[in-house]
């Protein structure tokens, strides 16, 4: 049985060239980057070369890039620092965010009494710029706005440039969890003035356990972990040299063909959507999944007309790896917090499946998945 992997929003397979460069690094760059001898300097040079490379991709300075263990750590560093060190007393977000953000916000509200404002979203899960403007107008409190660049369940691409402009007008900080955006949509941080952005390598064919945090120059970020002075004192811990190098290579491969891949995946996505409409009467698409201009080319969130608690299990039995979007598929008693936040209860309770593509996904993979869904 051919196994088809369509759960790339959860994690992507590492590319052979990424594995190769990491294996080479493990043999050659085994020194501690904090050591002053030649072995340490060689490892340090490899880390700094990758830092400069990543900074160049996003049109920022290398001093604004901090290496982390991934998106969750990056989100925690930003949110906790904003409250503890930057004087933030109010956080504006939505119920659609990743739990790395939502759970941290809950913690900050409980421990420090931070005011939390949840913006309303429409039934497609779209942020409303007017609502954000209204909330920021309503208070003079030092505010951090935290909104995802690309939603991990719906695939919606947020109007981040407009959000950043609104935040600037009101002197609010803007943090964007960009884990699902990096490597999949164009990002220029001189054009989009976010203050903080986080990334995780395993979402763009790199290794797990490594990512980076962008901190716009001028913001002071202090370490959550105390120990060494690595990463300019922002993130204590010996750098994950091989992971960082693998992440740099994965990002290079992804961004070198970004436009071509976006076009190819959008074509594949369009075919998948139109085929589902033909083969499954009454099928619907969550969020902006159906809108190629407003959603990531990698994510399609499908809501089926009839409840089918065994659908995710049956697809797995047929060799199709995907993710569920409601309680009956995910095994969670709470279901998808994203779908519950933007859909009426009767719709949120229906069977939803997230299909997510990558540069390794082929049309044959999509055909096989379609047969499994319909069969």
Q: Give the active site residue among 21, 167, 328, 342.
A: 328
3-state secondary structure of 173: strand
Known catalytic residue at 328: yes
| Cα dihedral across residues 320, 321, 323, 329: positive or negative | positive
Burial of 3 (0-12, 13-18, 19+ CB in 10 A): exposed
Parallel/antiparallel/unpaired status of strands 211-215 and 173-177:
unpaired
Which among 205, 214, 208 is positioned nearest to 250, based on CA atoms? 205
Calpha distance 221→83 (Å, rounded): 11
Helix, coil or strand: residue 41: helix
Question: CA of 210: how far to CAs of 61, 69, 70, 123, 201, in Å?
Answer: 20, 4, 5, 34, 6
Full DSSP string of 275-300: HHHHHSTT-EE-TTTT-TTTB-TTEE
Active site residues: 328
């Amino acid at each position: 049985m051919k196994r088809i992997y369509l759960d790339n929003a959860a994690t992507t397979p590492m590319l052979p060239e990424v594995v190769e460069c990491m294996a080479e690094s493990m043999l050659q760059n085994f020194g501690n980057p904090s050591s002053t001898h030649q072995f340490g300097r060689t490892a340090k040079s490899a880390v700094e070369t990758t830092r400069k490379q990543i900074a160049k991709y996003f049109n920022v300075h290398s001093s604004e890039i901090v290496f982390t263990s991934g998106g969750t750590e990056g989100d925690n560093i930003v949110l906790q620092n904003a409250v503890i060190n930057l004087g933030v007393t109010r956080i504006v977000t939505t119920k659609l965010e990743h739990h790395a953000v939502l759970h941290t916000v809950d913690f900050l509200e409980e421990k420090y009494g931070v005011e939390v404002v949840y913006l309303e979203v429409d039934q497609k899960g779209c942020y409303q710029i007017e609502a954000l403007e209204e909330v920021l107008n309503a208070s003079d409190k030092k505010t951090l706005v935290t909104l995802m660049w690309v939603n991990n369940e719906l695939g919606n691409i947020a109007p981040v440039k407009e959000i950043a402009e609104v935040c600037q007008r009101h002197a609010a900080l803007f943090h964007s969890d960009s884990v699902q955006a990096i490597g999949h949509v164009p990002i220029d941080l001189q054009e989009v003035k976010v203050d903080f952005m986080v990334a995780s390598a395993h979402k763009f064919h790199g290794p797990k356990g490594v990512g980076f945090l962008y901190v716009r120059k001028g913001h002071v970020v202090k370490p959550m972990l105390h120990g060494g002075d690595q990463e300019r004192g922002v993130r204590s811990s010996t750098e994950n040299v091989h992971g960082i190098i693998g992440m740099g290579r994965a990002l290079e491969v992804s961004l070198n063909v970004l436009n071509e891949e976006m076009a190819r995946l959008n074509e594949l996505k369009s075919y998948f959507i139109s085929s589902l409409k033909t083969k499954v009467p009454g099928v619907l698409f969550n969020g902006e999944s159906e809108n190629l201009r407003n959603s990531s080319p990698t994510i399609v969130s499908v809501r089926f007309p009839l409840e089918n608690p065994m659908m995710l299990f049956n697809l797995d039995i047929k060799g199709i790896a995907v993710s569920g979007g409601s309680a009956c598929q995910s095994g969670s008693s709470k279901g998808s917090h994203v779908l519950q936040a933007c859909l009426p209860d009767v719709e949120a309770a229906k069977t939803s499946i997230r299909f997510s593509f990558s540069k390794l996904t082929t049309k044959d993979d999509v055909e096989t998945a379609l047969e499994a869904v319909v069969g």
